[in-house]
Structure 1
Amino acid sequence: MVSINLKCTLLAPPEKVAAVLLEHAYLGRFFNAQFSQLKSHNKGEMKGGAGAIRQVKTPLAIFSEQIISASNKYICYRIMGDKPVANHQGDIYLTPIEHEGNTATGLRYCITFKPPWWMPSSLIKLFVKHDISQALNKLARYFKEHNV
């Protein structure tokens, strides 16, 4: 199993960060992929939350992800099926913190997955970690520039 843990600080409160991360069709602003929402959230869940399914198109693969749980403090999703990796789960923890007198968010992004047998774990870990790091940097810039 591969595990990746990344952290960043975002200049917005957790509820705004969660809302942006659950706008599935617009995640391409941050990640190197195209996203489209295939299924809406379950009745009674927050917008884009539990039950929502999104399709992810990357240059190398097309796959679907399902939101398992979502709140202003935590988002959990998983890749449906075993491609491009197996047992993939993403856990995003959103913690309110104070930053220069305002409420900001401490974000911790944890990913676990099993790579294909033919691909070295260290190589795919490096690729995914780099991609997610870039996305978090874009997300941080977004909140800095939009002053939300």
Structure 2
Amino acid sequence: MVNIRCHKEVAAAPHLVLETLLDHPRLNRFFNAQFKVVQSAVHPEIHGGSGCIREVRMLGIRFYEQILHADHSAIRYQIVGDFPVKQHHGEIRLRHNTDKQSTRVDYHVRFAAPAYVPGFVLRRLITRDINLALTRLEALYATC
């Protein structure tokens, strides 16, 4: 199993970070991929939350992710099926830091690498992409 953990402090309240990360069609601002909602959330009190399925296109491949849970402290999602990786689970935790008036974003992904790509290669690529996305998210809320 490949485990990836990244974190970043973002100068915004958790509810703003949550709304930003659930704005699926605009996630390309942070990730090097295109996103499209193919099924709306089951519980509309959090737009883009639980039950939402999004199509992800990157590097010439297409796959689907489903939001399993979303609230003001966490987003949990998984890739639907076993492509491009198996047993995928993602979790983004949002922790309010009252001292700094910010949110600590903890991003954890785990999955089984396919036989045709070594796990250490995927770990390196995905870690780089998540760190870049978190840096872009941080920049969105940075004060000048």
TM-score by length of 1: 0.93
Q: State how far apart, in whole Å, the 2-side matches of 1:66 and 1:55 are.
A: 9
Counting aligned pairs with the same residue, the percent is: 35
Q: State how far apart, in whole Å, the 1-side matches of 2:25 and 2:72 are.
A: 19
- 1:57-115 per-residue CA deviation (whole Å, 9 max, x = no partner) reads 00142100000000010000000010000111110000000354xx2101100000011
Q: State how far apart, in whole Å, the 1-side matches of 2:36 and 2:142 are.
A: 25
In terms of mean alpha carbon deviation, does 104-113 or 36-45 score higher? 36-45
Tell whether 2:78 aligns with 1:94. no
Tell whether 2:11 aligns with 1:22. no
2:133 corresponds to: 135
Q: State how far apart, in whole Å, the 1-side matches of 2:18 and 2:58 are.
A: 23
Unaligned segments of structure 2, at least 5 residues? none
Question: For 2:43, what is the secondary structure of its paired residue?
Answer: coil
Q: State how far apart, in whole Å, the 1-side matches of 2:141 and 2:49 are.
A: 21
Q: State how far apart, in whole Å, the 2-side matches of 1:44 and 1:120 are.
A: 39
The two structures, once aligned, show a CA RMSD in angstroms of 1.3
Question: For 1:138, what is the secondary structure of its paired residue?
Answer: helix
1:144 corresponds to: 142
Instruction: Show structure 1 runs of 4+ deviating over 4 A.
Output: none
TM-score by length of 2: 0.95
Q: State how far apart, in whole Å, the 1-side matches of 2:114 and 2:45 are.
A: 34
What amino acid does structure 2 have at the position aligned with 1:135?
A
2:102 corresponds to: 104
8 Å contact kept, 2:43–2:49: no
Question: For 2:131, what is the secondary structure of its paired residue?
Answer: helix
Number of equivalences: 144
2:5 corresponds to: 5
2:115 to 101, 106, 117: 117
Change in 2 beyond 3 A, CA 1:44/1:59: closer
- 1:6-38 per-residue CA deviation (whole Å, 9 max, x = no partner) reads 111000000000000000000000000000111
Question: For 1:105, what is the secondary structure of its paired residue?
Answer: strand
